[in-house]
């Protein structure tokens, strides 16, 4: 899994190490942080393109993000794709949760799933919510899931 900054600069270190250094630097600068993790995808022909983001929010001072893109060549329905997005976000969150607990940084996992039953993505809502909450993470869905529905969406 390769990560980069918004400006395209590759993150050469393991993501846990890069996040740790970032937290230490931001806290030393006086910022209170919250991290939101989200994934979005788009189907282009036979390929599903995914983007996962780790969004660092500085309380009342903006934020920035780390990005990881990957592709999967597989035919899948909307429900399976939504669950794969959530699984990817949970995987990233799980890899960081001990570090975030140690540094007292709040964590949210955002799912690009609509709470309105009139939208196709809603078919995966209860499964996604159960998965994320079952792992012990704070869950956010649209319209509150900006990490997936806005940040990751722009990176796909």
CATH number of 146's domain? 3.30.420
Which pLDDT score is estimated for 114? 81
Which pLDDT score is estimated for 124? 82
SS (H, E, C) 38-65: EEEEEEECCEEEEEEEEEEEECCCCEEE
The count of domains in the chain is: 1
Q: Which domain holds residue 64?
A: 3-155
| pLDDT range class, residue 8, cuts 50, 70, 90 | very high
pTM above 0.85, yes or no: yes
Q: Which residue has the tokens 């846990």?
A: 16
Residues 6 or more apart in contact with residue 145 via CB below 8 angstroms: 38, 110, 111, 112, 113
Q: Which residue has the tokens 């993000």?
A: 65
pLDDT tens profile 78-95: 889 999 999 999 999 999
Q: Does position 132 have pLDDT exceeding 80, yes or no?
A: yes
Nearest CA to 26 out of 75, 59, 69, 51 is that of: 59
Query: Do 88 and 111 form a contact (C-beta atoms < 8 A)?
Result: no
Which pLDDT score is estimated for 115? 82
């Amino acid at each position: 899994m390769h990560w980069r900054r918004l400006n395209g600069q590759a993150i050469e270190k393991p993501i846990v190490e890069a996040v740790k250094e970032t937290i230490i630097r931001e806290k030393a600068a006086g910022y209170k942080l919250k991290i939101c993790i989200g994934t979005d995808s788009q189907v282009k022909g036979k390929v599903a393109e995914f983007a996962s983001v780790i969004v660092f929010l500085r309380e009342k001072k903006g934020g920035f993000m780390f990005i990881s893109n990957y592709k999967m060549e597989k035919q899948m329905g909307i429900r399976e794709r939504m669950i794969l997005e959530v699984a990817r976000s949970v995987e990233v969150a799980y890899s960081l949760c001990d570090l975030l607990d140690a540094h007292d940084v709040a964590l949210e996992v955002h799912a690009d799933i609509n709470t309105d039953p009139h939208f196709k993505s809603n078919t995966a809502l209860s499964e996604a919510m159960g998965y994320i909450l079952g792992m012990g993470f704070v869950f956010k869905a649209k319209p509150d899931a900006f990490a997936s529905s806005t940040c990751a969406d722009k990176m796909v």
